[in-house]
Amino acid sequence: MLKTGLLLMFVFLQPYVWADEPILPVTMIPNLDAEQIELGKALFHETKLSVDNTVSCASCHSLETGGVDGLRRSLGVEGREGDINTPTVLNSALSFRQFWNGRAASLEEQINGPLTNPKEMGNTWQQAIATLKQDPAYVAAFGEIFDDGITAVNIRQSLAEFERSLTLSNARFDAYLKGDENAINPQEKQGYQLFKSYGCVACHQGVAVGGNMYQQFGIMNDYFADRGTAITQADLGRYTVTGDVDDQHVFKVPSLRQVAQTAPYFHDGSAETLAEAIQVMGYYQLGRTLPAADVALIESFLRSLAGSYTETSP
């Protein structure tokens, strides 16, 4: 009880803004395993995980470009186009589920998807393991960390540990939340106030500024009718997982942490620019047509949310 009281006193004595805000600053995930991170990093860039040795995780999730590839839909083995826009891997550990439809409960479970998807890596676990076992460097690396060497469980664990290390805590907006009033400029502060007053924070809040709930795409207006193209399997969202008709067009709310770097936007990659994405959200989720000046201010705020990735991040 004494320790709790002292902690609360410490928190309230700090010049932090975030105690009264819907967005919280990113904090580092504790107790990560450095050896697993290093092995996971090698695996993340390893094309041998794909059936034809051409595609790695980094092919679609470039760490130098916001954790995405900038394509509407990524290209897998033999140039096959995927079905849905690739979300960023940066800060992915902050989300409560993985994939747009939330079908994976963890980063470890998520890894099964791309490795076995015929439009992505097109591989099997049996073949991926056999390929890695032919590489003495991987045999040695796994042997040093895991008693049972190269297994699907250990590959998933190492990759997930590396992905957890991609949680970035150096955003300017976080510095502002922690009390540095000069970390963001007046336009960004105005944009944040608009982000709250319009109601964007109803879905985009918390540490990840999203990533912690599901929501229907097109609450106030029918996005899919207006889009004018046929409904795809990817458009069905949570319905493909639950089979519940009420889950049609329901998706995991994406994190906005790196949103300035991850165009094009939405599950279908239909919005080419961040300004366009803000307008779409205003109309279809809030029922509002946002003035261009407000869009520009909100965009400036969103740009302050991003952390920067380097080899020594976060």
Residues marked as catalytic: 120
Provide the H-helix boundaries in the chain. 2-13, 34-44, 57-60, 107-116, 125-133, 136-145, 152-164, 172-177, 186-197, 223-227, 239-242, 274-286, 292-303
- What's 19's DSSP letter? G
Q: What angle do CA 227, 220, 267 make, to 5 degrees?
A: 45
Tell me the one-letter amino acid at 231: I
> 242 with 250: CB under 8 angstroms?
no
Token duo for residue 287: 């029922």
Tell me the one-letter amino acid at 183: A
Q: How far apart are the first and last CA of the chain?
A: 33
Instruction: Scan for tokens 């690396």, then name that residue.
Output: 141
Q: Residue 196: CB partners within 8 Å, gap ≥ 6?
A: 22
Cβ neighbour number for residue 152 with a 10 Å cutoff: 16
Measured between alpha carbons, how far is 239 from 3 in angstroms, rounded to an integer? 46
Measured between alpha carbons, how far is 4 from 191 in angstroms, rounded to an integer? 36
Rg from Cα positions in the chain: 21
